[in-house]
Amino acid sequence: MRSTTMSAIAVCVACVNQRSKIWRHLAFGISVGILLLLQCSCSPIKPTETPLDRRQAPAAEAVYNLNPNTASQRLWVFIDGDGRPWRWGRFVAKAPELPNAQAFALWQSTPEPAIYLQRPCYSGIHPHNAASALHCHPYWWTSGRYAPAVTLSLKNALLTELSKHRLAPQTQIILVGFSGGAPLAIDLYRALAAEMPSRMSVCAIVTLAGALLTEKPEQQFSAVAPWHPKSGVSAPPPTAPVSVPLWHFAGTEDRVINAAVWPRVLARYGGSLYWLPSDHDGWQPHWQSIRQQLITAIPACAAGAKQKSPFTKLSDGQETP
C-alpha cells in the first residue's frame, strides 16, 4: 500500500514538473516574440541622434488634385500630422505611420484646386518618399520633424508644383494644417512670404486640432497620446503672430491635444479659436461646412482687408460654425 502511495506521489510530482516546464517554455516564447516585435517596429536609434547634415531635409512631395475646378481663384494646400513617429513615447519608429491621414482625406474631398504636401520621409501617395528612401533618417520624423529644413523642403515642393499649373490670376492660397501639420503650415507661410509668385498670395491659414506648442510636447499632448514623446522636439517658437487671418479649430472630444494650451497658443500666434464636437481625427464630417463658411471670409484677402469672422460667437467667447 505504501509503495502504491509513493508511486502516485512520484507521478504527481513528475506531472507538476512537466507542466512547469511547459509554462516556462511558453513564457520564454512570448518574451522572444515581444522582443522581435519591438525590433521590427522600432529603431534603437536614440532621439538625440541626428543625421550628419541637418541643413537639408529629404525631398517633400506635392500632389495636385486630378479634377480641379480651374475657374476657382482659391487653392487649398493641406499638410498632414505627425502620424506615429514613436512607440509608447519611448522607442523611435522605423517609419512614421499615418494611420488616419486627415489632411489627405480632406484634400481628396475638396472640389476646388488643392495640393497635398507629403512631408519628408512620410509614406502616402508616393511610397518612394517614405522612410526607406535615400537620406531619410529618424531625426526627420522625431526631434527634427518641425526643423527649418523640413519647412524649406515643403516650400520647394509647393513652388515646384505651382510652376507646373496655370492657375487663375490673383489666386488665393489657403494653408490647412492638421495636428502636427499646423505649425508647419504657419512656418510655410513665413517661408513663402518673399518667394510667392506675384499672381498669387497666401490669404489665410487654417489649423485643425493643431499641435502648436511645439517646444513643450509634455504640455501639448495629453497622457492618452502615448505615441508622442514627452521631450526631444526641436522647434524654435515664432517671434510674432502671423499677419493673415488664422483660424484654429479644436475638438471638444479631442483626447490627444491638451485643451489647456490654447490660451498660450492664441497669445503666441494670434487668430481665432473655434470649438466643434469632434475628436482628434474627426474632421471629415465638418470639413465641407468649414470650407463653405471660410470662403465667405476670403474675397477681400488679396487686398489685405481685415477679415470678418464667418462664424457665430458663443456666450463664452469661443466660436463655432
In this structure, what CATH number is given to the domain that contains residue 263? Answer: 3.40.50.1820
> Could you read off the pLDDT of 72-103 as tens digits, one per residue?
788 999 999 988 887 766 678 787 778 788 99
Which triple of cell numbers denotes residue 133? Answer: 528612401
Same domain, 37 and 141: no
Question: Which among 181, 232, 231, 237 is positioned nearest to 210, based on CA atoms?
Answer: 181
Same domain, 14 and 98: no
Q: What is the pLDDT of residue 139?
A: 85
Residues 6 or more apart in contact with residue 62 via CB below 8 angstroms: 115, 116, 117, 118, 157, 158, 160, 161
Domain that holds residue 90: 52-320
**Whole-angstrom distance, CA of residue 251 vs CA of residue 179:** 11
Same domain, 38 and 116: no
Same domain, 246 and 293: yes
**Whole-angstrom distance, CA of residue 275 vs CA of residue 182:** 16
Same domain, 33 and 67: no
Unique residue bearing C-alpha cell 516574440: 33
Paired with 173 in beta bridges are 75, 202
Please answer whether residues 258 and 216 qualify as being in contact, where contact means their C-beta atoms are separated by less than 8 angstroms: no
pLDDT in single tens digits along all 321 residues of the chain: 545 555 544 444 454 455 555 556 555 555 544 444 444 444 444 444 455 455 567 778 878 875 566 667 889 999 999 888 877 666 787 877 787 889 999 999 999 999 999 998 886 544 444 545 557 888 888 888 888 889 999 999 999 998 888 777 778 899 999 999 999 999 999 999 877 776 778 989 999 999 888 777 667 776 555 555 544 555 555 667 788 899 999 999 998 888 999 999 999 899 999 999 999 999 999 999 999 989 887 765 544 445 555 555 433 345 544
**Whole-angstrom distance, CA of residue 12 vs CA of residue 68:** 77
Which residue type is seen at 276?
Answer: L
Same domain, 202 and 250: yes
Same domain, 78 and 3: no
> Could you read off the pLDDT of 59-68 as tens digits, one per residue?
788 788 755 6
Which triple of cell numbers denotes residue 222? Answer: 495629453
Domain count, the chain: 2
Same domain, 134 and 239: yes
**Whole-angstrom distance, CA of residue 107 vs CA of residue 171:** 18
Residue 240, CA distances (Å) to 112, 226, 283 in order: 31, 31, 28
- Mean pLDDT, the chain, rounded, equals 74
Same domain, 214 and 306: yes
Q: What is the pLDDT of residue 249?
A: 96
Same domain, 128 and 196: yes
Q: What is the pLDDT of residue 17?
A: 53
pTM listed for this prediction? 0.77
Same domain, 28 and 173: no
Same domain, 91 and 127: yes
Chain centroid to Cα 209, Å, comes to 9
Q: What is the pLDDT of residue 97?
A: 76
DSSP string for 133-146: STT--GGGGTTTTT
141 class by beta-carbon count within 10 Å (0-12 exposed, 13-18 middle, 19+ buried): buried
